[in-house]
Amino acid sequence: MLKLKKGVLLIDQHDKNYMYGGKFGGNFIPETLKKPIEDLTNLFGRLRYDKNFIKERDYYFKNYVGAPTPFIKLENLTKHLGGAQVYAKVVSKANGGAHKIYNAVVHALICKRAGKKYIVGDTGAGYAGKMLSMAAKKFGLKCKIFMGAKDIKRQKPNCDAMRKNGAEIVPVYSGSQTLVDAVSECMRYWVSNCDTTHMAVGSTVGPNIFIKICAWSTAQISRELIVQLKEEFGGVPKKLKLINCVGGGSSAAGFWNEFIDYNKSQVELIGVEAGGPKNSKLHAAPLTFGSKIGILHGAAQYVIQDKDGQIGETSSISAGLDYPGISPLHCFLKDTKRARYTSASDEEALQAYKLVSKLEDLSPSLEPSHAFAEAIKIAPKLSKDTIICVNSCGDAKKDRAIITKRLGFFR
């Protein structure tokens, strides 16, 4: 069995070929990208230990992103479920309404340090794109966002925000017209423009350096949480469950970062993938349904594919989770058995949204609604001294049309 190293950040647990556990990650990239990726690897390798850079990051996280985001008890939901105490880390209160802001700000800061004026990125739910457009505006960078044509239709509010921030949205019509094609198209654009342009991959996927930058950025979530847990409970609770949705896996990687070294009997990490429509064979849950390892967007990972290695079609009500692969970091956490992965269907996510928004002053987007679905499932069976914390990593405003259509209301 694969083993995690204690005292080493998860993102740094790779070998010289940038593979985690010898199986996941790496840099399966065209020759043209070798140099820009090496340059970025060196630059970030320096910056992450540069006191001034850290100071700058922390300044913008505090004064622009709005750190720390709230950690609240969901009293009514807890009472309703009648088991574990349910809390939420309301990351959706961050500027822009989701965790994608951390990665976007860090990429914009790196882009400036690299002396580049153009920044490009991919987006699924539109949050990564919206945040990158915000950060680009803030730091005076020209921004292009690649987005699947299907996602442009279903996530209109975020598209409007991107345009308002002065970003150009490039619709991607190839393949399934969702996130997977947006990432491919963005990488292609970077192949052609890597001399002038910085690329920000929107999640903990892609060539290794992008996984590192993203997880390093979202780690802010767990740095805040550990302080908040100590304030609330005087320490990390004896029975804690951290539940997070996983698509690419960026918010979960950040939510769990500080807790990896804890014994799993104390801090259990639970990832919830998109199970897709209840009566469909399609899903976006490669870990739950035992997909094989393959190469997608430059990295080896569990990925939905056929036996010829063609990437498979996915389906999820949540654009942000609608991705056939998953971060090599999560593949590694699964195979080391540090985290447990399960899935929630579209319908379960909708029901979770309904219950949470009814009982609490909280309107989680469809992505974290998957995580709430799991919390709702397990909380009643758990003891009262168990603490469940759900990362409510996105706000439902972008999903207004879908939720209204499916549930007949929106809160």
User: Among 52, 192, 265, 279, which residue interacts with other proteins (rule: CB under 8 A)?
Assistant: 192
Q: How far is the CB of 60 from other proteins (least distance, A)?
A: 31
Q: How far is the CB of 199 from other proteins (least distance, A)?
A: 12
Q: Is 184 in the site for other proteins (CB under 8 A)?
A: yes
Identify each DSSP E strand in 183-302 by its residue range.
Answer: 197-200, 240-245, 267-276, 293-296, 299-302
Q: Is 124 in the site for other proteins (CB under 8 A)?
A: no
Q: Is 307 in the site for other proteins (CB under 8 A)?
A: yes
User: Among 136, 161, 311, 396, which residue interacts with other proteins (rule: CB under 8 A)?
Assistant: 311
Q: Is 319 in the site for other proteins (CB under 8 A)?
A: no
Q: How far is the CB of 410 from other proteins (least distance, A)?
A: 35
Cβ(184)–Cβ(202) below 8 Å: no
Q: Is 148 in the site for other proteins (CB under 8 A)?
A: no
Choose the binding region for other proteins from 29-37, 53-61, 213-221, 242-250 (rule: CB under 8 A): 29-37
Residues from 70 through 109 that contact other proteins (CB under 8 A): none
User: Among 180, 246, 326, 387, which residue interacts with other proteins (rule: CB under 8 A)?
Assistant: 180
Q: Is 193 in the site for other proteins (CB under 8 A)?
A: yes
Q: Is 187 in the site for other proteins (CB under 8 A)?
A: yes
Beta bridge partner(s), residue 339? 269
Q: 78: alpha, beta or left, given left = phi > 0 and alpha = psi -120 to 50? A: alpha
Q: Is 200 in the site for other proteins (CB under 8 A)?
A: no
Q: What is the largest CA-CA distance in the chain?
A: 57
Cβ(315)–Cβ(280) below 8 Å: yes
Choose the binding region for other proteins from 1-9, 27-35, 57-65, 326-334 (rule: CB under 8 A): 27-35
Tokens 């996915």: give the residue.
314
Q: Is 59 in the site for other proteins (CB under 8 A)?
A: no
Choose the binding region for other proteins from 60-68, 97-105, 300-308, 374-382 (rule: CB under 8 A): 300-308
Q: Is 308 in the site for other proteins (CB under 8 A)?
A: yes
Q: Is 296 in the site for other proteins (CB under 8 A)?
A: yes
Choose the binding region for other proteins from 52-60, 229-237, 303-311, 384-392 (rule: CB under 8 A): 303-311
Nearer to other proteins, 76 or 193 (CB): 193
For 389, the enclosing helix (H) or strand (E) is strand 387-391
Q: Is 35 in the site for other proteins (CB under 8 A)?
A: yes
Q: Is 42 in the site for other proteins (CB under 8 A)?
A: no
Q: Is 298 in the site for other proteins (CB under 8 A)?
A: yes
- CA dist., res. 373 & res. 361, Å (int): 17
Identify each DSSP E strand in 277-325 by its residue range.
Answer: 293-296, 299-302
Q: Is 120 in the site for other proteins (CB under 8 A)?
A: no
Q: Is 28 in the site for other proteins (CB under 8 A)?
A: yes
Q: Tell me which residues touch other proteins (CB under 8 A).
A: 17, 26-36, 174-175, 180-181, 184, 187-188, 191-195, 292-298, 300, 305, 307-311
